[in-house]
């Protein structure tokens, strides 16, 4: 049995599908379906059982779970604007620590979601504490558990892997609201309003040129499954594409894919701007000094751990995502 927490969420549900594609359907899904609409993310998945997250936490505390092959822990509050530190530290840090201790006591492989938020403003995004200074309590909740793992690396009883996700996009994020990816918001804005709006220039960057490391959820799943297949490997690893691309690239991929659906030709960025299909709004004053204008994962450690597959670029990954979404919502 493999446990996936956050199983009805964005990344978690995609991991369950990835397990199913490998012929693994003895999956215990853990989540909170109080917001019942998230069940949609699980309805095409094969699972063996479901537990509400609080019930599962009680089972962990009493050691009342059956035989478990691995735990893939994706459950967390990922709202970077959440200011309730008590909630975040319990929900993100304490639960992760409890699961880790449970897994270590039983020699169960444990793969968990860390975050690029631990790096704060950067500018170096490599797995070293000298580069880490989270800017919010979400980032700190991830940072603190990473520190626990680092302190225990020398005496692990089983695999423990933390994956620092960068800007993930892809299917099954529709429930995330304002925390959904830029690609998701661009797509819905274009369908509703006929154009996409991006931030104008600031911090030395031109209009729409602020850049992030955007990674497809397809690649995130592949990295998780790689470590599941290699239980001898442990550590903290960046999980990004390894390339920074501007928001303009995301918007262009979204608009041109939707234009293709209408039988219209792809346009260059300049042509899209001239046609008013991509527009820019002044950079918000309240974000100045608190905004990551550039992120790019250093993949050295991930490559050294043996993961060598190429990551999708924005043009390919976003186009594939838009087509998938449109096929499901038409």
Q: Does the annotation flag 201 for ligand binding? A: yes
Measured in degrees and rounded to the nearest 5, phi and psi for residue 35 equal -85, 90
Q: Which residues have CB under 8 Å from 230's CB, separation 6+? A: 305, 306
Q: Does the annotation flag 113 for ligand binding? A: no
Q: Does the annotation flag 40 for ligand binding? A: no
Q: Does the annotation flag 212 for ligand binding? A: yes
Measured in degrees and rounded to the nearest 5, phi and psi for residue 72 equal -110, 105
Q: Does the annotation flag 53 for ligand binding? A: yes
Q: Cα–Cα distance between 94 and 73 in angstroms, integer? A: 13
Q: Does the annotation flag 38 for ligand binding? A: yes
User: Kind of pairing, strands 27-31 and 49-52?
Assistant: parallel
Q: Does the annotation flag 58 for ligand binding? A: no
Q: Does the annotation flag 74 for ligand binding? A: yes
Q: Does the annotation flag 176 for ligand binding? A: yes
Show the CA angle centred on residue 201, arms to residues 195 and 206, nearest 5°. 95
Query: Which residue is associated with the tokens 């050294």?
Result: 304
Contact 77, 91 (CB under 8 A): yes
Q: Does the annotation flag 75 for ligand binding? A: yes
CA dihedral 280, 282, 283, 286 (to 10 degrees): -140
Q: Does the annotation flag 11 for ligand binding? A: yes
Q: Give the catalytic positions in this structure.
A: 138, 176
Q: Cα–Cα distance between 121 and 255 in angstroms, integer? A: 30
Binding region for substrate = 167, 178, 185, 199-202, 212, 291
| Binding-site positions | 10-11, 31-32, 38, 53, 74-78, 91, 142, 167-168, 176, 178, 185, 199-202, 212, 291
- As annotated, the binding site for NADP(+) includes 10-11, 31-32, 38, 53, 74-78, 91, 142, 168, 176
């Amino acid at each position: 049995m493999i446990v996936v927490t956050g199983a009805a969420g964005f990344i978690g549900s995609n991991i369950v599908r990835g397990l199913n594609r490998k012929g693994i359907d003895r999956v215990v899904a853990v989540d909170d379906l109080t917001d019942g609409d998230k069940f949609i993310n699980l309805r095409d998945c094969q699972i063996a059982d479901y537990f509400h997250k609080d019930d599962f936490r009680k089972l962990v505390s009493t050691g009342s779970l059956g035989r478990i092959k691995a735990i893939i822990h994706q459950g967390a509050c990922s709202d970077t604007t959440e200011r309730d530190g008590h909630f975040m530290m319990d929900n993100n840090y304490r639960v992760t620590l409890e699961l880790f201790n449970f897994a270590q006591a039983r020699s169960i492989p444990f793969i968990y979601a860390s975050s690029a938020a631990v790096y704060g403003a950067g500018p170096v995004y490599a797995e070293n504490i000298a580069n880490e200074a989270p800017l919010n309590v979400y980032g700190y909740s991830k940072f603190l558990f990473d520190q626990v793992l680092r302190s225990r690396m020398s005496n692990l009883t089983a695999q423990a892997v933390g994956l620092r996700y960068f800007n993930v996009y892809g299917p099954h994020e529709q429930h995330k609201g304002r925390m959904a990816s830029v690609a998701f918001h661009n797509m819905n804005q274009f369908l509703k309003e006929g154009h996409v709006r991006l931030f104008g220039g600031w911090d030395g960057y031109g209009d729409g040129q602020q850049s992030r490391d955007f990674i497809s959820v397809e690649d995130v799943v592949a990295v998780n499954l790689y470590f599941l297949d290699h239980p001898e490997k442990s550590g903290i690893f960046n999980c990004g594409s390894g390339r920074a691309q501007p928001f303009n690239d995301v918007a262009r991929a979204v608009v041109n894919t939707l234009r293709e659906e209408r039988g219209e030709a792809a346009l260059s960025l300049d042509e899209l701007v001239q046609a008013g299909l991509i527009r820019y709004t002044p950079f918000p004053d309240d974000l100045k000094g608190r905004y990551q204008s550039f992120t790019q994962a250093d993949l050295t450690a991930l490559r050294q751990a043996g993961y060598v597959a190429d990551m999708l670029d924005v043009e390919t990954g976003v186009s594939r995502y838009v087509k998938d979404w449109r096929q499901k919502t038409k």
